[in-house]
Every structure is written in C-alpha cells, then in structure tokens.
Amino acid sequence: MQYSRLSSAVESPNHTGVSGKDERADPAHSISFWGSTGVFMRESIRFYLGERLVTLTEVAPDQTLLDWLRHEGRTGTKEGCNEGDCGACTVIVVRLRHGKPMVKAVNACIQLLPMLDGAAVFTIEDIAVGNALHPVQEAMIGLNGAQCGFCTPGFVMSMVAYRNAEQPSDDDTAINTALSGNLCRCTGYAPIVRAMKQALAAPDSAFETALPALKAKLLTLQDGQDVQFETTRGAVFLPSSTEALAQYLQAHPETLIVAGATDVGLWVTKAMRPLPRVAFIGQCPDLMLIERSADGLSIGAGVTYDAASEALSGWLPDFGRLIGRIGSTPIRNSATLCGNIANGSPIGDGPPALIAAGALLHLRSGDQKRTLPLEAYFLAYGEQDRRDGEFVEGVTIPPLAEGTFYRSYKISKRFDQDISAVLGAFAVRLDETGSVLEARLAFGGMAATPCRASRAEAALVGSRWDAASLDRARLALADDFSPLSDMRASAWYRQTVAANLLTRFFEESRGETSRLEKAGGLVHV
C-alpha cells in the first residue's frame, strides 16, 4: 500500500510527536486513498479547535490532547494529575448525536489525539468571546469561585458543558454530578456550586448561540472513511465500520483496541508504555448502536457510559443509578461500557452489575461471531477469553425474568469518582411461594476477576428467601472469596461489607430502604 503525506502539511521536528499545521482549506480537499476495504481512506485526522479546522498527519497514537494543546500555546488547560482524576485539564468536545451537537466535558490528559477526529474541541480560551465573558465566568468571579485558580479553567469547562446539557437543573445533586470530575482544594466547592446556579439562570452567551451552526461544520467532517496512517511512534487506525475493523485486526492481530482511553490513557501518561498499533473504535458508527429487542438491550462497543445511561436506566433502573457513580462525568463522557468489560479489570464496576443481570458478550473475529455469558469472559487476573484478532462488538442485557429482584451497590472511600473497594450486584428470582428459583450474586473487588459467589448462590437456591437463608449465604461468602488487602480496603472490610451488602439487598427486597445516597439520579452532562 502506498502511503503519502498531505502535500500541504508542514513537516516540523517538534517534540510532541505531531506534525502538520492548520488546514484552513475545505476539508473536502483532503487527499484520500483507496483503503483495504474498498472505501476511501484518509491519512490524517481532522477536528475543529475552537473556530479553526485542524488537520494533522503523523499523529502518534500515544499523543495526548493535553500535551498537544499546551504545546500549541493553549496553556489555560492545566495538568493536575495526568490520569483523568482531577479535572484541571477539562475541555469541551462537541459531536453530533442524532444530528444534534452534544456538548461534553472530557479530560484532555487521557484523550488520545486521534480520538478527536470529527469533533469540535473547545478550551478555556474559546469560552469568552472577545471581551464578553461567559455567564459561568462572570458568576465564578462574582461569587468567588476561584482561589488559587489552577482548577478553575477545568471547572469553567465542566460548568459550561452542564449549562448546555439537555436538561440542566439547579438541583444540588445534579450539580454535584456535573462537577464530579473536578477537584478543588481551595474553595470547598460551595462558591462554585453557587456560581453554577447563578450561571444557569443567565441568558445564552455568544458561545451558546454559535452552537447550532456547528452542526454543518461537523457534518462536513463526516466522510465515512477509514483513517489509517503510520508514524515513527506507531500506527493509527480509525475504522468506518465493524467490517473494516474486523479485517484490520485479521491483518494486525497485535493491534490495541481503544475506545474511550480512560484506562489506556494511563498506560501512556503513567506507565510510559509505547502503543505501536492502535485501532480507535470510539466513533465507529456500527459500534455506536443501542438497541432494544426481545433478546434484551444491546449496547455497542463504542457507546460511552454517558450515551448508554439513559437506555440502561430505563432497562435496569438500579444499574442506571450505579452508573452515576462510575468514574466522573468527564470519564463517563469518554469511557465505554464495553471497554470496562474488555480490559478485564477485577475492579471495573460495569461487569459485576452486568453479570448479575445475566448479560451476554458478543465477540467477533473476521467473519466469525460468538456470544458467551459475560462471566465466562473473565478467565483469570489479566486474562480474558479474547483471541488474537478478536474484538468485543457489544453486550446484551436480557430482560429480567418475572419475579426477579435486582440491585447493585458500590462501596468506596469517596462517593464520587472512586474505584470500588467492593461492588456487589445481586439478582434473585422467587417463585410464588417465596422460594429462590435463581440467584446471581456478582462481586467486583473480591477476587482476581469480577465473578459470582457460587457457594452463596447455592445456599439460597431452593430455599425460602428469609433471614435464615440470608445468614447461610453470608457465611458461604467466606468460602467463595479470600479478597486482598490493599490501599482501598483490607480483606476484612471487603469480606464484612460483602456480607452486609447481602443483608441490605435482603432488606430492600422486603421494601426496607436504608441506603445513604449523595447523588440520587443520573444526570446527563
């Protein structure tokens, strides 16, 4: 295959692993080539940065958006932690969803630059138009929302994104959720929340009034082409279809598949691991599907937690509630449900919640497809049932059988944006007499993989759903698991709380509710 560079690109030996400069020309003029799947193929990525169209070739697959922005002189976006936990680097990414521009806050530090293809990116420098401050900025000044100021640009971006959410509410809980990905060490947040409320009541600013016009600009970037190029630091592939992805992975089975990069981003920023070949699947249209059918609710591998949350909340309300505690708003705007599965983490929150619901995982390799119960995917620590060249296409959550009671519980040191010490997700199905027909008790944080508590389940099945069975199940948990002690919790705490969560589940199935909730519903931001 012939590779050549954009003739207009400026080759510059800068040190960010990127060359190529602004392309102010009509994007249609970008040169394309016939790709391996017979459709047009592009050898550059294109996105809007504020007003200007940027076309880049030779973008290394491990180039972060944050480093690139700061190298471009946009130093308003700060690095606080370089792992997506503090929000100092928050920027806004706008994409079309169902034809509508969706304004989303994301962590620039763990966005890999090729992922931005087709998007519009706004940084703090784009929010005030001329001398006219955005209402969020006015409110942050007027209500003393900034002290040291270092987290402030990130907060402003999250706040602007929230103001442009579908239904922003001035409810404290909703605002907490919107700001869950931004840490402030100075103010104690109270003045920032006050500023958010004031800004919600303000009329639209120039930033908002310009948004509708963005649709046309974003549409011009949607050319349906594969993007494929190689750089000295690694190869980049953005498939336009699952077909293209399947073929690419057959040809390059060593390819790392990246959707939201909220995990892989840290391989780059913290472990300094090279990424020799990456397929970025986050914008592959075939993988963006959310479908309800008689089989259940199916979620494609490119669907973010944010995009999936509405459908999941409708399908399995308690899972919807849990999603509000997975990562933070900017993380959920990037992270995918399937990525949370595919990486095989023993402490991912999605898998146990899905296992308890009886979810099925769909894998594909070339033309071969297979489906397996989700729990079967996790073989051992760091080992999953995914073969060379195979990829996760999606997951299906079947409807809960009649008589099933389902709940998921997350236990962590901090309510928002924390990794679970224990995640317990449980489903029991009772017959008319109150006996347990089926029990699915899934845990995260208790073993080397997300998994079911088979002995505790056995203690329940066939018995009456009563306090005596509960006690047997609690005891059996000690045989099911011998969890680790680490910085999140001791083995003792994990074991004790796991049993206590069964108690809570039992009580809630009886209509007793005693859960402490800091953030009730899920907010779409």
Site for other proteins in 2-31 (CB under 8 A): 15
Please identify which residue in the block is written with the tokens 């990246």.
258
Rounded to a whole number of angstroms, the minimum distance from the CB of residue 205 to other proteins is 13
Query: Listing from the earlier edge strand, what are the strands of the sheet with 296-300?
Result: 290-293, 296-300, 390-397, 360-365, 368-373
Write down the least CB distance from residue 226 to other proteins, Å: 29
At its nearest, how many Å lie between other proteins and the CB of residue 76?
2
Distance CA 244, CA 144 (A): 51
Of residues 246-275, those binding other proteins (CB under 8 A):
270, 272
d(CA 33, CA 42): 6
> Counting contacts by CB under 8 A, is residue 349 touching other proteins?
no
Shortest Å distance, C-beta 386 to other proteins = 25
Binding to other proteins (CB under 8 A) within 469-488 occurs at 486-488
Segment near other proteins (CB under 8 A); pick from 244-252, 399-407, 447-455, 503-511: 503-511
- The residue (of 298 and 412) whose beta carbon lies closer to other proteins is 412
d(CA 74, CA 96): 25
Binding flag, residue 490, other proteins (CB under 8 A): yes
Task: Determine the length of the chain.
Answer: 525
* CA atoms of 204 and 208, how far apart (whole Å): 6
Residues 384-413, interacting with other proteins (CB under 8 A): 411, 413
Under the binding rule (CB under 8 A), the answer on residue 380 touching other proteins is no
**Other beta carbons less than 10 A from residue 131's beta carbon:** 5
83 lies in the binding site for other proteins (CB under 8 A) = yes
Sheet architecture: strand order including 32-34: 32-34, 40-42, 226-231, 234-238, 277-280, 256-258
Does 330 interact with other proteins (rule: CB under 8 A)?
no
Q: What are phi and psi of 491, to 5 degrees?
A: -60, -40
Answer for which of 57, 123, 225, 340 binds other proteins (CB under 8 A) is: 123
* Cα distance between residue 42 and residue 35, in whole Å: 8
d(CA 335, CA 339): 7
Cα pseudo-dihedral 65, 70, 75, 76, rounded to 10: 0
Residue 493 interacts with other proteins (CB under 8 A): yes or no: yes
Q: Look up tokens 């709380």; give the residue.
A: 497
Tell me the CA end-to-end span of the chain in Å, nearest whole number: 42
In whole angstroms, give the CA distance from residue 19 to residue 221. 20
Q: Which residues ranging from 172 to 231 are in contact with other proteins (CB under 8 A)? A: 172-173, 175-177, 179-180, 182-193
Smallest separation, CB 370 to other proteins (Å): 34
CB of 11 to other proteins, least distance (A): 18
Closest separation in Å from C-beta 492 to other proteins:
8
* Options 125, 208, 310, 438; binder of other proteins; rule CB under 8 A: 125
Among 414, 431, 462, 466, indicate the residue that binds other proteins (CB under 8 A).
414
419 in contact with other proteins (CB under 8 A):
yes
Number of residues that bind other proteins (CB under 8 A): 87
Of 19, 55, 77, 242, which lies in the binding site for other proteins, with binding defined by CB under 8 A? 77
Closer residue to other proteins, CB minimum distance, 123 or 247: 123
The closest of 152, 129, 124 to 140, measured between CA atoms, is 152
